[in-house]
């Protein structure tokens, strides 16, 4: 009988209580019964496309997909019968017959769900001809698609549409000709969420690791690494550590072992970003400018607003992202400190982001005559591949500190990687710049965007007598809803933070992939903990930043700061794509 929203049913001979309305797959997982699947993503992609989750239900002649069939009172389900096993293996063999099976050279070797399931089901022979499309792979851009590895699970289609609201991918043609294609690929923001939800290697970031190693091996180059805040939350997830704590100090030591001359903290540049962006906000408020100022540190968001809401582009802060501010200062301020030709400096960014690869190539990201401010951008996944390829044993490494002075950062810089962090860091320093006094360090903690049930979070704060209205959101579908509300005049804010990836950079498209897991919340908690443990928690108190302004920049929004640390959003327009060798396409 149905009681309190529960039903009685049986799975594999075990009588259980299941939630009314739940699917067979959800119920099985809640009771630790494993049913394989390739296409399923809870609340995103529940379409039964792969036909690997088939089960037998007594009273039904045909096998049913566990992912999109609900439980019922008295239902008897069998997940492991000869008929089920034969069907799963047959369907898996059909998928493999249209899949590029050169697994050892695939980026997803070892983390591919198709590969793992093939091994678990002991499928070692494919009785069908291997039919591949033979479509060329274009590896010039940050997001690479390999059609012959696509299994038409439609995860990318659903994620792009339901989570990000973009609709870049779509299923085209029908029958045996049906395949996923980039119907609106030129509109892509390169957020990379489709990559993190793809079960195979059909989608991945462009690999720039060899470009970095070539620079490291060049004796004329001074190769500098900068590490984004979110990277320290995930850098070791793709490594097999034997109980060693994956601390920030060991991350620095591991990266230094790759051959870098200096290892710096992007969070130093995040503190500089706050000085510029906070001053920009106060300048706008003093002038009485109408409408919100949007944050600009997320390149996926910048691409999105240019494409979908160009009328709001004038409200986007001109302050560059921390990545680009670091690159500009490395090839000017730091080159001056080293007394070297900026052309010798090669800046490498380790980012939790795919869009950063394209950001580094924009025409307004060349602050010197020494080429782009940032020469190469690698994701966390690429960092893992680098460390494995060089056989770096993290278990043997002692902790090391970032180099100085561009390695000094505050807790405010660290929380840039989590949703609400940019806003909170900016408000901490904006309060000081307005009043000359520090607020309580947690005075603005309420800006932290919490929970997927909210499209955005809004708050009001008193800033030296001015009522400051702010909003924070992450995920481009949420950003779209917020922008539309602003355009319709339904809401009015002074300052808005937007991150393209759900949860912020900690949930970025360049982070390690874990099947069925979303780790943004846990990673964000790590950054919050690092902030709490920091001796300095206000960007304006960073001594290295103070020295940079005193001896080089002058003051926030100075002529030199404007030239090096601010961008011209009209310098390029969508669609804008640059190849790996710097050619616009």
pLDDT-based confidence at residue 449 (cuts at 50, 70, 90): low
* pLDDT tens profile 335-365: 999 999 999 999 999 999 999 999 999 999 9
**For position 3, what pLDDT does the model report?**
61
Q: Which parts of 289-363 fold into alpha helices (H)?
A: 299-308, 322-329, 335-338, 355-359
How far is Cα 536 from Cα 63, in angstroms, rounded to an integer? 61
Residue for token digits 């063999």? 93
Average pLDDT, integer, range 528-553: 96
Average pLDDT, integer, range 49-62: 95
Average pLDDT, integer, range 415-444: 93
Average pLDDT, integer, range 434-443: 92
How far is Cα 575 from Cα 304, in angstroms, rounded to an integer? 10
**For position 231, what pLDDT does the model report?**
97
* DSSP collapsed to 3 states, 201-248: CCEEECCCHHHHHHHHHCCCCEEEEEECHHHHHCCCCCCCCCCCCCCH
pTM of the model: 0.94
CA distances from 66 to 86, 88, 221, 389, 474 (A): 16, 12, 56, 40, 32
* pLDDT tens profile 494-519: 999 999 999 999 999 999 999 988 99
């Amino acid at each position: 009988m149905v009681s309190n929203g529960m039903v009685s049913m049986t799975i594999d001979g075990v009588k259980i209580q299941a939630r009314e309305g739940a699917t067979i797959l959800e119920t099985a997982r809640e009771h630790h019964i494993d049913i394989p699947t390739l296409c399923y993503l809870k609340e995103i992609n529940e379409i039964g496309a792969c036909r690997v989750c088939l089960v037998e239900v007594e009273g039904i002649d045909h096998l049913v997909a566990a992912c999109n069939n609900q439980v019922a009172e008295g239902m008897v389900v069998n997940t492991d019968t000869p008929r089920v096993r034969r069907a799963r293996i047959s369907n898996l063999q059909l998928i493999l017959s249209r899949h590029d099976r050169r697994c050892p050279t695939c980026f997803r070797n070892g983390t591919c769900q198709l590969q793992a399931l093939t091994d678990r089901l002991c499928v070692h022979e494919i009785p069908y001809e291997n039919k591949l499309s033979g479509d060329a792979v274009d590896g010039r851009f940050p997001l690479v698609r390999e059609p012959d590895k696509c299994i038409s699970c439609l995860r990318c289609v659903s994620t792009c549409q339901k989570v990000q609201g973009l609709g870049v991918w779509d299923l085209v043609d029908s029958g045996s000709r049906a395949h996923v294609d980039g119907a609106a690929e030129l509109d892509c923001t390169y957020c990379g969420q489709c990559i993190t939800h793809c079960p195979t290697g059909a989608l991945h970031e462009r690999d720039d690791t060899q470009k970095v190693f070539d620079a490291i091996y060049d004796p004329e180059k001074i190769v500098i690494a900068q590490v984004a805040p979110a990277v320290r939350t995930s850098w070791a997830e793709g490594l097999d550590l034997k109980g060693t704590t994956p601390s920030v100090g060991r991350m620095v030591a591991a990266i230094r072992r790759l051959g870098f001359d200096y290892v710096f903290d992007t969070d130093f540049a995040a503190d500089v970003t706050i000085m510029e962006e906070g001053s920009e906000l106060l300048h706008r408020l003093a002038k009485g400018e109408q409408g919100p100022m949007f944050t600009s540190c997320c390149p996926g968001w910048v691409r999105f607003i240019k494409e979908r809401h160009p009328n709001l582009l004038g409200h986007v802060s001109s302050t560059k992202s921390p990545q680009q501010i670091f690159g500009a200062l490395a090839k000017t301020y730091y080159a001056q400190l080293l007394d070297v030709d900026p052309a010798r400096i090669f800046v490498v960014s380790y980012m939790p982001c795919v869009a950063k690869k394209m950001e580094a190539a924009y025409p307004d990201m060349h602050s010197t005559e020494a080429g782009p401010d940032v020469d190469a951008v690698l994701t966390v996944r690429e960092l893992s591949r680098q460390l494995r390829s060089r056989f770096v044993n993290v278990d043997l490494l002692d902790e090391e500190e970032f180099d100085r002075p561009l390695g000094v950062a505050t807790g405010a810089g660290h929380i840039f990687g989590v949703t609400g962090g940019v806003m909170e860091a900016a408000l901490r320093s904006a309060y000081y710049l307005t009043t000359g006094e520090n607020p309580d360090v947690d005075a603005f903690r309420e800006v932290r965007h919490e929970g997927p049930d909210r499209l955005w979070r809004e708050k009001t704060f008193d800033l030296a007598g001015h009522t400051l209205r702010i909003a924070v959101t992450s995920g481009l579908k949420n950003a779209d809803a917020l922008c539309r509300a602003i355009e319709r005049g339904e809401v009015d804010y002074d300052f808005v933070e937007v991150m393209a990836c759900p949860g912020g950079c900690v949930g970025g498209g360049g982070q390690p992939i874990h099947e069925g897991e979303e780790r943004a919340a846990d990673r964000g908690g790590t950054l919050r903990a690092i902030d709490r443990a920091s001796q300095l928690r206000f960007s304006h108190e960073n001594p290295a930043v103070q020295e940079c302004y005193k001896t080089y920049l002058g003051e926030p929004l100075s002529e030199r700061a404007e030239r090096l640390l601010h961008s011209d959003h009209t310098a390029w327009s969508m669609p804008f794509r640059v190849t790996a060798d710097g050619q616009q396409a």
